[in-house]
Amino acid sequence: MAQVKVLVLRTAGTNCDMETCHAFSLAGAVTERVHVNRLIEQPSLLADFQVLALPGGFSYGDDIAAGKILANQLIHHFREQVQQFIDADKLVIGICNGFQVLVKAGLLGGLNEGGGADREVALQQVTITYNDSGKFEDRWVYLEAGTDKCVFINPGQRIYLPVAHGEGKVCFADEQVKQQVIEVGQVAYRYVDREGNFGDYPVNPNGSTDHIAGLCDSTGRVLGLMPHPERNVHPTHHPRWTREAVEKPDGLSLFINAVNYFG
Amino acid sequence: MINRIEIYTKSDYEDVHGQEVLADITQLGIETVQAVQVLRVFLLEGNLDSETLQRIAREVLVDPVSELYCLGQSGAPAGLAQATIMEVHLKPGVTDPVAASTMMALADMGLELESVRTARKYVLLGGLSEKQKQLIAQRVLANDCIEEVIFGADAEIPLAHVAPYHLKISQIPIRELGEQELEELSGKKDLFLNVAEMRAIQDYYRKLNREPTDIELEMLAQTWSEHCVHKTFRGTIELVCADADGKTRTEVIDNLLKSTIARATSELNKDWCISVFEDNAGVIKFDEEYGICFKVETHNHPSAIEPYGGAATGIGGVIRDPMGTGLGAKPVANTDVFCFAPPDLKLQELPAGVLHPRRVMKGVVGGVRDYGNRMGIPTINGAVLFDERYLGNPLVYCGNVGLIPADKCFGSARSGNLIMVVGGRTGRDGIHGATFSSGEMTHEHETLFSHAVQIGNAITEKKTLDTLLTARDKGLYVAITDCGAGGLSSAVGEMGEKLGAVVDLDKVPLKYQGLSYTEIWISEAQERMVIAVPPEKLVQIQEIFDSEDVEATIIGKFTDDKKLVLRYQGQTVGELDMDFLHGGVPKYTRQARWQKLQLSEPEITEQADYTGDLKAILSSYNVASKEWVVRQYDHEVQGGSVVKPLVGLVNDGPGDASVIRPRLDSERAVAIGCGICPQYSDIDPYWMALAAIDEAVRNVVAVGADPGKIAILDNFCWGNCNKPDRLGSLVRAAQGCYDAAMAYGTPFISGKDSLNNEFQTDSGQTINIPGTLLISAMGIVTEAQKCVTMDAKEPGNVIVFVGETRDELGGSHFYKLHGQLGANVPRVDLQAGPKIIHAVAEAISDGLVRSCHDCSEGGLAVALAEMAFAGGLGMDVNLSGVPVGRDVGKNYQILFSESPSRLVLEVHPDDIGKLAKILRNVRFAEIGKVTDGIRLVIRNRGNHAVIDAEIADLKETWQKPLRW
């Protein structure tokens, strides 16, 4: 079997592309960093890959809103190709700013993600907004898997990853949307404490609704999350590696699962 | 026509920005405002029907979940008469990145608009006087350099268009002026040149038989500024040293830099130093394939006026130093060290023209945060210090570390190469920055020099970096430098020093029209790099920049006649000989005086219990936790984090230094730390310098750096060195730098000085900062997995003290607590210190050390408390074993003396024997054990507890003061 090919999409202000590539290559994939301008020029490029990764950063400086401009580019220039990509049993992951892009492009968090063929633009029913703390924070959080249908996630696993964002609070348009998202198993991860209990700040670092840290789509092949799995793929990434034995870095499992999906 | 769309937060969501503004208004002492609403305003020019506007708002501008929009002007909330509306607009011509992104997004939707502009609208609820409104507008809402405020909903929005510039070459008669007139001219034009320098310029033009043009004079002033040529460090100094009994001795120092700091580097002659003191950053060897470089700069004066923008451009500027080193390094880490006045200063004690230290601190931290985070560079090390004397003159040190391929460490332009400016456009921002920072601050600076503050845009810099690295790896340019202080004038002037250059100033891309040729040349607008491109590579390199929307423009070329020719629309507006520009500044002799201060040691009565003193020191701003600052920085981006700034059981203990792996495919790492101790400078800056170097080295060794491969950087921030006493103290510190660097074998690889850090109040009083030397250290870590952290790890482990505690409480926190300065400043033993460092490093490398913490501010008691609460474990320690010097008999001396070269180790009982062998040539002792209890107990010789406290209580005391 040929190596899994990952397209890591970057643009002005993307800044976690290198380490995202590194994490995928540790998992055995080959990666290519592709500037969004190339994809706009030639959307068919996407078809050569099995995984589309939208890494963290500040695409376009968070102008208008975090992830908004890149989401708009996706919608107007290559949404169809992304939809075909997903329909072709391939995988999409958005991390931090990439998650914001997926949500704002309507690819996550709606019950009609992707919009369907007849819609001009997918209806965005979920958003990611300012942390309750009002500030950017870098801190480590525990996450509990909230679904058993996402390709990237080991069901029932509790993992430890860092968050680093100022806008990570997931909010729903209304109670009904929230309930639906929960009921169909699209909550990918929830913030918990070390023992697995829910808690206020800083256990839930941004005040996210229902402690939600990440969402997946109805296929389980599109994942978006605020925490950074690519920052916990080496034994010395763990903030307490000098005092606790780290067997296998938690973040690596997401990338391995993605690659193994094609194995 | 212009269509207005306003966006506001739904009532069931937090208006985060509104709350921030409200807090800042309250900080100003205005308590009548109850709530603040912030709206985003978009002004769209074009013929758009209401349906299209609705669509634009819905699909692009508004967050459909958390926000609402309004077409046209929204009304003030009903029922509340006391609503004040203010709108902040960018001044004509200032770049508006949000507007540019919006244009792009609308174009993606198929909508072509004539223009887009943005503004921020504030609705303040509560009674306000006109004066208060003005104050809020000026101090909280707007940056006067780039923004203007309009009041009320009906006010006219400022015009977007500015008048074009028409060429008018202006000459400044200088040949016939007398001494006094020369001085006046220098003052009137803000040249900050002294009479000798003005005379040298006069002589030059007399010989040329013509008058200078304005651009020539400005360029000379900039190139010759203290900021750019470091006249103090490179000139001749006559130092008069006076003994306590009045006897004096005179010493003549020719070039302080060469005779102290650079001398240590050349005498140490380390084969791993690749490029020192010659490029924008100093480069050392990282491994066989890469070098690693480091540069630290200050941005003090801009940060005093506009803390957010000043600090943001401070970090933005220093990032461009590694980017402009060799053929360009990839930035991999940031550092930041700040000195402020205490944040609890009473508002009524604030002198005119000074921002409140709390506001300065919040702004500075915010600026570094936003720029560093957006660049995707981890901010991994720093310090925050407080002293009343930093009130009008805060210090903002920003550093950047870069990784550079070994074969890309050098570059040089050749005649015939094209001069290309890449990145941001040139605007009027930052004009006179270099000269401004070379003068003393006064209470009027805030208004006079507001234009000296630059405006930063991290995304422009990030884009520029991405494309430059691609072009570098393809070998498409042969030299690179940044546009820093002095702008294009410095960048082109330096790159072409040995060649000559012709520049067409009208080719430089501008943010807006209306700039004169001189403004274009000296502007310090941000995010610009200059590269030298061989003509045959032009097409290829231009393609790379175009493909990622980075602006790159040819503005001239390098020649071989050693002349700098400046043209505008084909006409020559300035012509200077490179030799005169770079070599014409007259050397002159400065007077310095150093007199040992008559100080004495206080009488302090021994107490039975020091728990209260320990808590008081832990809660002092200097020692207290800086977690509020650290967490706002992304310290893990790029994925190479090994030791984070916060460590321990719940990730909140104060690490000694941070470690990163700049290459993700390698286990080799680099430790970054610092030493800064201005508190000792009041007693003797010589010993302060030694202590700072000792501390910086100890910090990186404490986490696992190889003591044989540590490079250091010096950053001096001093008062006005035209005054002999200030200069005398600077010389003392520089001499200390030489001695310590030689003893520790740590070459200086780069440095920078910022002199003139004084503030003159409106009543004429001068506040001089304490002489403040920052030493930054970069140490190679051979194997990341051997690093250690400072948090106590396991009950039963032995606590080992290494070093010697002497009667050295001069300048200590303990004396400060008791209102004393003292005389016995900590003195580094240059024989013992390096031995201790090497022995501890060997023990760490052998895996014998479970935790390691340096013993510095607040002494042994603070070090033990930090280790205990960071690890969530108790400790039981007895002071009787601590190795002490003569005259140490009192418990407070052992607890709180700040003697240098001391470390506390935690070691497994089985490893004590092996450790003892390694430490055989230095003083050390087992002083206690880690316990599974919840208390830190420190006992005296009689086994009575002199400190006994719950670690949770100590931690809370330490965390509370700066938990904002």
Closest by alpha carbon to A21, among A46, A55, A68? A55
pLDDT at B842: 98
pLDDT per position as a tens digit, B80-107 = 568 899 999 988 767 788 999 999 999 9
Cβ partners under 8 Å of residue A7, min gap 6: A31, A32, A34, A45, A46, A48, A49, A51, A52, A53
Final residue before a domain boundary, out of B151, B173, B199 = B151
Q: Which residues of B696-710 are buried (b: 16+ CB within 10 A; e: fewer)?
A: bbbbbbbbbbbbebb
Q: What is the CATH number of the domain that holds B948?
A: 3.90.650.10
Q: Where are the domains of chain A?
A: 5-260
Please judge whether B632 and A138 are an interchain contact, meaning their C-beta atoms are less than 8 angstroms apart: yes
Final residue before a domain boundary, out of B101, B119, B151 = B151
pLDDT of B444 strictly over 50 = yes
Give the tokens for residue B594. Answer: 């150093």
- Residues of chain B neighbouring A14 (CB-CB closer than 8 A): 376
pLDDT per position as a tens digit, B840-865 = 999 999 999 999 999 999 999 999 99
pLDDT at B393: 95
pLDDT at B91: 80
pLDDT of B439 strictly over 70 = no
Which of B102, B108, B649 is closest, CB to CB, to A64? B102
Catalytic member of B89, B227, B445, B813 = B227
What's the CA angle centered on B590, arms B223 and B300, to 5 degrees?
50
Q: How many residues does chain A have?
A: 263
Cα(B748)–Cα(B273) distance, integer angstroms: 10
Residue B664, domain member (yes or no): no
What's the CA angle centered on B257, arms B254 and B261, to 5 degrees?
130
Return residues 9-38 of A near B (CB < 8 Å): 10, 12-16, 18-19, 22-23, 35, 37-38
- Residues of chain B neighbouring A172 (CB-CB closer than 8 A): 65
Please judge whether B97 and A69 are an interchain contact, meaning their C-beta atoms are less than 8 angstroms apart: no
Kind and range of the H or E run holding B920: none
- Total structural domains in chain B? 2
Give rounded-to-5 percent helix, strand, coil for chain B. Answer: 35, 25, 40
Please judge whether B60 and A72 are an interchain contact, meaning their C-beta atoms are less than 8 angstroms apart: yes
3-state SS of B613-634 is: HHHHHHCCCCCCCCHHHHCCCC
Higher pLDDT, B145 or B526: B526
Q: Any bridge partners for residue B552, and if so which?
A: B422
Q: What is the DSSP letter of B884?
A: B
Say how many C-beta atoms besides its own lie within 10 A of residue A237's C-beta.
Answer: 27
pLDDT at B725: 95
Final residue before a domain boundary, out of B117, B151, B185 = B151
pLDDT of B448 strictly over 90 = no
Give the strand pairing for B903-907 and B798-802: antiparallel
- B493: Cα within 13 Å, side-chain hemisphere: 31
Helical ranges in B713-808 per DSSP H: 724-744
pLDDT per position as a tens digit, B395-436 = 999 999 999 999 999 999 999 999 999 999 998 776 765 555
pLDDT at B939: 98
Q: What is the DSSP letter of B278?
A: S
Please judge whether A242 and B13 are an interchain contact, meaning their C-beta atoms are less than 8 angstroms apart: no
The residue whose two tokens read 């910090």 is B699
Closest by alpha carbon to B613, among B853, B816, B864? B816
Predicted confidence band at A117 (pLDDT cuts at 50, 70, 90)? Answer: very low
Cα(B499)–Cα(B565) distance, integer angstroms: 12
Residue B830, domain member (yes or no): yes
Mean pLDDT, residues B448-475 taken together: 85
Give the strand pairing for B766-768 and B758-760: antiparallel
pLDDT per position as a tens digit, B60-87 = 999 999 999 999 988 766 665 688 999 9
Return residues 136-165 of A near B (CB < 8 Å): 136-140, 162, 164
Query: Measured between CA atoms, how close is A88 to chain B, in angstroms?
Result: 26
Where is average pLDDT lowest: A65-74, B24-33, B548-557? B24-33
Closest by alpha carbon to A65, among B239, B57, B770, B85? B57
Query: Measured between CA atoms, how close is B68 to chain A, in angstroms?
Result: 12
pLDDT per position as a tens digit, B485-542 = 889 999 999 999 999 999 999 999 998 888 899 999 999 889 999 999 999 999 999 9
- Residues of chain B neighbouring A173 (CB-CB closer than 8 A): 64-65
- Residues of chain A neighbouring B548 (CB-CB closer than 8 A): 12, 35, 37
Return residues 52-71 of A near B (CB < 8 Å): 56-58, 60-61, 63-65, 68-69
Mean pLDDT, residues B763-782 taken together: 95
Which of A77, A173, A242 is closest, CB to CB, to B787? A242
pLDDT of B928 strictly over 80 = yes
Please judge whether A242 and B104 are an interchain contact, meaning their C-beta atoms are less than 8 angstroms apart: no
Residue B81 structural domain: 2-151
Sheet holding B874-878, edge to edge: B851-854, B903-907, B798-802, B924-931, B874-878, B935-939, B945-950
- Residues of chain A neighbouring B98 (CB-CB closer than 8 A): 63-64
- A168: Cα within 13 Å, side-chain hemisphere: 35
Closest by alpha carbon to B121, among B157, B93, B94? B157
pLDDT at B145: 67
Query: Measured between CA atoms, how close is A89 to chain B, in angstroms?
Result: 28
pLDDT per position as a tens digit, B697-717 = 999 999 999 999 999 999 999
Cα(B125)–Cα(A145) distance, integer angstroms: 45
pLDDT at A119: 43
CATH numeric code, A5-260? 3.40.50.880
Return residues 81-110 of A near B (CB < 8 Å): none
Give the tokens for residue A194. Answer: 């070390």
The distance of Cα B232 from the centroid of its chain, to the nearest Å, equals 21
- B914: Cα within 13 Å, side-chain hemisphere: 13
Residue B129, domain member (yes or no): yes
Mean pLDDT, residues B759-783 taken together: 94
Is residue B305 within 8 Å of residue B319, measured between CB atoms? no
Query: Measured between CA atoms, how close is A126 to chain B, in angstroms?
Result: 6
Please judge whether B664 and A164 are an interchain contact, meaning their C-beta atoms are less than 8 angstroms apart: no
Residue pairs spanning A and B at CB distance below 8 A: 175
Q: What is the CATH number of the domain that holds B135?
A: 3.30.1280.10
Predicted confidence band at B243 (pLDDT cuts at 50, 70, 90)? Answer: confident
Is residue B89 within 8 Å of residue B148, measured between CB atoms? yes
pLDDT of A157 strictly over 70 = yes
- Our answer to whether residue B818 is catalytic in this structure is no
Is residue A11 within 8 Å of residue A35, measured between CB atoms? yes
Q: Reduce the DSSP state of residue B933 to 3 states and report it.
A: coil
- Residues of chain B neighbouring A72 (CB-CB closer than 8 A): 59-60, 105, 108-109
Is residue B862 within 8 Å of residue B618, measured between CB atoms? yes
pLDDT of A115 strictly over 60 = no
pLDDT of B114 strictly over 50 = yes
Radius of gyration over alpha carbons of chain A, in Å? 17
Q: What is the DSSP letter of B311?
A: H
Amino acid sitting at position A88: A
Mean pLDDT, residues B746-759 taken together: 94
Choose from B8, B10, B12, B16 for mutation: most chain A CBs within 10 A: B16
Please judge whether A242 and B789 are an interchain contact, meaning their C-beta atoms are less than 8 angstroms apart: yes
pLDDT at B832: 97
Radius of gyration over alpha carbons of chain B, in Å? 29
pLDDT of B438 strictly over 60 = no
Cα(B514)–Cα(B508) distance, integer angstroms: 13
Is residue B635 within 8 Å of residue B641, measured between CB atoms? yes
Cα(B884)–Cα(B915) distance, integer angstroms: 20
Cβ partners under 8 Å of residue B137, min gap 6: B86, B88, B149, B151
Mean pLDDT, residues B925-943 taken together: 97
pLDDT of B600 strictly over 90 = yes
% of chain B at pLDDT higher than 70: 96
pLDDT at A34: 98
Which of B61, B631, B661 is closest, CB to CB, to A64? B61
Query: Measured between CA atoms, how close is A50 to chain B, in angstroms?
Result: 24
pLDDT of B157 strictly over 90 = no
- Our answer to whether residue A76 is catalytic in this structure is no
Higher pLDDT, A191 or A114: A191
% of chain B at pLDDT higher than 90: 82
pLDDT per position as a tens digit, B215-242 = 999 999 999 987 778 888 889 999 999 8
Q: Which of A242-251, B155-164, B628-637 has the highest mean pLDDT?
A: B628-637
pLDDT per position as a tens digit, A11-51 = 999 999 999 999 999 999 999 999 999 999 999 999 999 99
% of chain A at pLDDT higher than 70: 95
pLDDT per position as a tens digit, B285-344 = 999 999 999 999 999 988 998 898 899 999 999 999 999 999 999 999 999 999 999 999
pLDDT at B418: 98
Whole-structure pTM over 0.80, yes or no? Answer: yes
Give the tokens for residue B250. Answer: 């005179």
Which of A13, A77, A125 is closest, CB to CB, to B462? A13
Q: Reduce the DSSP state of residue B799 to 3 states and report it.
A: strand
pLDDT at B434: 53
Cβ partners under 8 Å of residue B139, min gap 6: B24, B28, B355
Say how many C-beta atoms besides its own lie within 10 A of residue B794's C-beta.
Answer: 14
